[in-house]
Amino acid sequence: MSHVFCTDLSREAGDPLPGSGAHAERNLLISWPRARWQRNLRHASDMPPDLAAQLDALAASGRRVNLIHRRDQPAEVHEVILMPERRRLQLERSALLAFVEALAAGEDLERWPSTPQHHDLVLCCTHGKKDKCCARYGYRSYKALARAVEEHRLPFDVWESSHLGGCRFAASIILLSPVRKYGRIEPDQALPMLQAEAQGQRFLPGYRGASHLTPAQQCAEVAALQWLARDSALPCVELALVEDSALAPEEMPGHLGGSSSSSSDNDGDNEPQYRRQIWRWRQSGEGEGEGEGEAKAKGERASGELVVHCHTLTLARIDMCSDIDQGPSPSQVWRAASVQSIDAGYRQYS
Tens of pLDDT, residues 184-196 = 999 999 999 999 9
Percent of the chain with pLDDT over 90: 77
Q: In which band, very low, low, confident or very high, does the pLDDT at 346 lie, cut at 50, 70 and 90? A: very low
Asked whether the predicted pLDDT for residue 217 surpasses 80, the reply is yes
Q: For position 316, what pLDDT does the model report? A: 93
Q: In which band, very low, low, confident or very high, does the pLDDT at 264 lie, cut at 50, 70 and 90? A: very low
Q: In which band, very low, low, confident or very high, does the pLDDT at 144 lie, cut at 50, 70 and 90? A: very high
State the average pLDDT over residues 135-149: 97
How, if at all, do strands 27-31 and 64-69 pair? parallel
Beta strands in the chain (DSSP E): 27-31, 64-69, 77-83, 87-92, 115-116, 120-125, 156-161, 173-176, 180-182, 207-210, 237-246, 274-283, 303-317, 329-341, 346-348
Q: For position 186, what pLDDT does the model report? A: 97
pLDDT digits (tens, 9 = 90+) for 175-185: 998 899 999 99
Sheet holding 120-125, edge to edge: 115-116, 87-92, 77-83, 27-31, 64-69, 156-161, 120-125, 173-176, 180-182, 207-210
